[in-house]
Chain A
Amino acid sequence: MISFFKKRKKNFPDFWVQYASKFETKLPTELQKVRFVVLDTETTGFDYDNDRILSIGALNLQNNTIAINQSFEVFLDQHFYHAKNIEIHGIMQEENKERITEIEALMFFLEFIEDSILVAHHAGFDIKMINEALKRHGMPNLKNKVLDTSILYKRTLIKSPLLIPQEQYTLDQLAEKFDISTKDRHTALGDAYITAIAFIKIVEKLKSTKNFSIKKLWR
């Protein structure tokens, strides 16, 4: 079984091997040193099989600081373009943006994220979309740890009989609660930025709770 995997591994593209090798070292235990990558994808729809990623926005967050020159924004050239998405995302096919192929986007993305901890709002969706794309090109799933702000946020709510938590919180609701401007909503990097600020505020809140440790974030 093990030898089988080793054999397969050799068929992966170099950039995957490079990416996978980053996970050999352990993550730092201090929160300030941990590198988070906050990301968002814009897609043609919500169907994992038939829909495609149109753009990926991601930024680097470390010690509550976002370095703009270390952010990531790519637009993909997709044949499966659905006109209906123009309305939501405002990504026009005609728009004059440099577009790259899916495999290029994945390559740059893996190179960017390395072994960071990924953060996204409704992370399950974005990660699955990316994993599906990886699968199309014969690669396994992402290896990173993933945090979902829509779930983390619920942990910041006070326990009160007067407050009934909602099942789901949208990114707009979080932006409203945390007073974050939504001017760049529905662009991948714009949403990633909103998510990042919300994430920082959520973690700051959780930090003030009893016996907080970085491991608690995964719980």
Chain B
Amino acid sequence: MKNTISFRVADFIKNYPPFNEIKLKDLEELSQEIKIVYKVKDAVIFDEDEKAHEYFYMVHKGAVALSRNADNEIVDLCDEGDIFGLRPLMANEDYKIGAKAYEESILYAIPISNFKVFTKSREGVSNFLMESFASNTRNPYSVGRKGKLFQESPEISVTPPTNDLLDLQSVNYSKKLVSCPPDATIKAVATNMTKKKVGAMLVLKDKLPSGIITDKDLRNKIATGEFPITARAKDIMSSPVITYPTKMTLAQAQMAMMKSGISHLCLTQDGTPNTEAIGIISKHDIMLELGNNPAVLMKAINRARKFKKIKRIRHSIMSLLKGYLAQNIPLTLISKIITELNDACIKRVINISLNKIDTTPPVKFAWLALGSQGRSEQLLHTDQDNALIFEDVPEDELADTKKYFIELSKRVTKGLHEIGYEYCPAEMMASNPEWCLSLTEWKERTLHWITNPGKDEVLLSSIFFDYNHTYGNQDLVQQLTAHILSTTQKYPIFFVHLASGALQNPSPSGFFRSFLVEEDGAHKDFFDLKRRALMPLVEGARVLVLSNQVKSINNTAERFEKLAEIEPNNQELFLACSYATKALLKFRTKQGLLHNDSGRFISLDTLSKEEKIKLKRTFKTIKELQELLKIRFKVTNLVG
């Protein structure tokens, strides 16, 4: 029976090969027999050597990792619209690769018996399947490097990822040609290049490539005065254009550029300048494909126009992070680079969201990152905690202004969710009206927390006070900071509460210096690295920095370094704290990457003896810090 759901499924699969080769009517028939399967993260879809299913699969939402048991290394990552599990369809055998949900996923299970007619009747379908099947099972040379690949254009990433040697990987070129006619003015050319954020423009004459203009041409020929600004495209273009066919590997493309000393190749239908131009490939595209360079990633982020694209870039950021950790690069440096990239992603998400709204913001505003992101300690994907401040408006405009910013925030938080930041379970997000306030409202709110330091208020301020400006007007943020610093100075009792809050996290080790593990819940017998080890350091640093009136240092390790500078008599302890923070953070990040989660809960039996000793060493420092807090803020009287 055709119904609403089968139509919706047909509507989705028709966009991806091999289904795009099949008539919609047939797809609607086929869709009725499809099963929709939900898989939690890490759930197995099929194991290596498992008996063949009666279905093959398409990822509708989420991502699926294909891997071999032997090394457990991910061979391929299937995204939305990718198909996998083709072996039973092509070769009546059991699976040779296992499939597991890499993220929480919704899959379409397509019954092989119903699908087979299409493989026979349609050449396009069978060709596609043969190709993707062959490439999925070819020798696993590039296993280690595969994860670092990154496809530049998700819109055209319909060709299934292959396992070829990286250099033999065929290039992804951008199909959206930016071009101009030969008599276009230089001004129009430059304007368009700026708008499209590209470094080169193709000059087309009757659809055939007749020349190319790059940034370099503008600099060398216009800026030098060789040609006047009134010149035409044909005057300054490099001609003839060096053209190649579209079927080209990365290595070939690199060679071609080196050989001719150029940075852009034009791809045409048959590889000669006499056929229509199809795409253009730049050095940048190739760099991106090779993928592990922060500058290239940064450029890609700033060019992204869709959330989905940023999500892909974030995969690359993660492999970059993995690489850095493997090379033992100092954590301070790693976290600087990764934070910058994450920050750029968030900025981009806000930018895209702003573009999607028809009206411009009514007044100035600032987007704040809270919690770990505010402290620049967020290396892995965790929850999003954020807030928004907007400029004060007359009272009768407040409701409308707030409505605008909540609407904006909803789009931003949704976008962030899409690129991999989970929603904050406590709704601590700018889309919540409680966290989207005018400057005056924020001043009142923080004043209330500081002057009424109950349990909730201390908790709220401890999360909020690590805010960091990510987007928008700096001035609003500075005004709020000044307000908070002067208020806390007037109400020193607040520090006592903040310090006692910092001491409330349970100690990391028990009486016999054993690890204290969680006693119940989903993480029973796991060690809670965040709550027991990192939080005491983070909270200690916060209260000490605030009471010392230190402005705009948010990072915990840096805060301790600053404190060591301010208080020479405690220098040794604070430097130890700084070191411990970095060590724990690195440890958490490694654990998180290992298990594709936030790294917060650690199963102790997976740790080596050396790792355990290292962890315990940091516990000693934590204990000393807690002693110092107790004495300095006379907390004992309070907790009793």
The residues of A with any CB-CB pair to B shorter than 8 Å are 57, 59, 64-69, 71, 73, 157-158, 160-163, 176-177, 179, 183-184, 187, 189-190, 193, 197, 200-201, 204, 208-210
Contact = CB atoms under 8 A, between A and B. Distances in A.
Nearest to B423: A177
B32 interface: yes
Interface in B414-454: 414, 417-418, 423, 425-428
Contact of A197 (B3, B106, B414, B522): B106
Contact of B522 (A158, A184, A193, A208): A208
B37 A189 contact: no
A162 B35 contact: no
Which of B4, B104, B520 has most chain A Cβ within 10 Å? Answer: B4
Contact of B3 (A73, A183, A204, A208): A73
A68 B38 contact: no
A160 B426 contact: yes
A181 B151 CA distance: 25
If over half of A's interface residues share one DSSP class (helix, strand or loop), that class is named, otherwise mixed; here it is: mixed
Given A163-B426, A197-B106, A204-B40, A73 B456 contact: no
B428 A162 contact: yes
B426 A65 contact: no
Interface in B395-427: 414, 417-418, 423, 425-427
A157 B33 CA distance: 36
B5 interface: yes
Interface majority SS on B: helix, strand, loop or mixed?
Answer: mixed
Interface string B184-197: 00000000000000
Contacts of A66: 5, 35-37
A158 B35 contact: no
B106 A162 contact: no
A201 B33 CA distance: 24
Interface of B: 1, 3-6, 8-9, 31-40, 61, 104, 106, 109, 414, 417-418, 423, 425-428, 455-456, 459-460, 520-522
A157 B4 contact: no
B35 A65 contact: yes
Contacts of B455: 161
Given A64-B39, A201-B38, 10 more contacts: A59-B5, A66-B5, A68-B3, A68-B33, A68-B34, A69-B32, A71-B1, A189-B5, A193-B8, A204-B40
12 contacts: A57-B3, A57-B4, A65-B35, A65-B38, A68-B6, A69-B1, A71-B5, A162-B426, A162-B456, A162-B460, A176-B414, A187-B4
B5 A200 contact: no
Contacts of A208: 522
Contact of A68 (B31, B417, B418): B31
A79 B34 CA distance: 36
A189 B428 contact: no
A216 B521 CA distance: 15
A193 B5 contact: yes
Contacts of A176: 414
B8 A183 contact: yes
B4 A64 contact: no
B37 A190 contact: no
Nearest to B36: A66
A211 to B, nearest CB: 9
A68 B32 contact: yes
Contacts of B428: 162
Contacts of B426: 158, 160, 162-163
B522 A209 contact: yes
Given A68-B6, A208-B522, A161 B35 contact: no
B257 to A, nearest CB: 41
A189 B521 contact: no
Nearest to B455: A161
A53 B580 CA distance: 65
A184 B4 contact: yes
B82 to A, nearest CB: 19
Given A66-B35, A68-B36, A157 B425 contact: yes
List of 6 A-B pairs having minimum Cβ-Cβ separation, nearest first: A66-B36, A208-B522, A189-B4, A64-B38, A73-B3, A161-B456
B37 A64 contact: yes
A197 B32 contact: no
A171 to B, nearest CB: 15
B37 A68 contact: no
Contacts of B9: 68
Contacts of A64: 37-39
Contacts of A204: 40
Given A68-B33, A69-B33, A189 B3 contact: yes
Contacts of B4: 57, 73, 184, 187, 189-190, 193
Most buried by A among B5, B37, B106, B426: B5
A161 B459 CA distance: 9
B308 to A, nearest CB: 13
Nearest to B456: A161
Interface centre among B8, B38, B426, by most chain A C-beta atoms within 10 angstroms, is B38
A63 to B, nearest CB: 9
A66 B106 CA distance: 11
A187 B35 CA distance: 20
Contacts of B522: 208-210
A82 to B, nearest CB: 22
Contacts of A183: 8
B120 to A, nearest CB: 23
Contacts of A187: 4
A200 B306 CA distance: 28
Contacts of A162: 426-428, 456, 459-460
Nearest to A63: B37
Nearest to B410: A176
B38 A200 contact: yes
Contacts of B34: 68
Contacts of B1: 69, 71, 73
Nearest to B463: A162
Nearest to B521: A210
Nearest to B457: A161
A65 B36 CA distance: 6
A66 to B, nearest CB: 4
B387 to A, nearest CB: 13
A91 to B, nearest CB: 12
A65 B60 CA distance: 14
Contacts of A193: 4-5, 8
Contacts of A73: 1, 3-4
Contacts of A71: 1, 3, 5
In this complex, which of A66, A201, A208 has the most chain B Cβ atoms within 10 angstroms of its Cβ? A66
A64 B9 CA distance: 17
Contacts of A161: 455-456, 459
Nearest to B43: A64
B427 A163 contact: yes
A179 B413 CA distance: 12
A66 B456 CA distance: 43
Contact of B520 (A189, A200, A210): A210
Contacts of B414: 176
A71 B33 CA distance: 11
Given A162-B459, A187-B4, A197 B417 contact: no
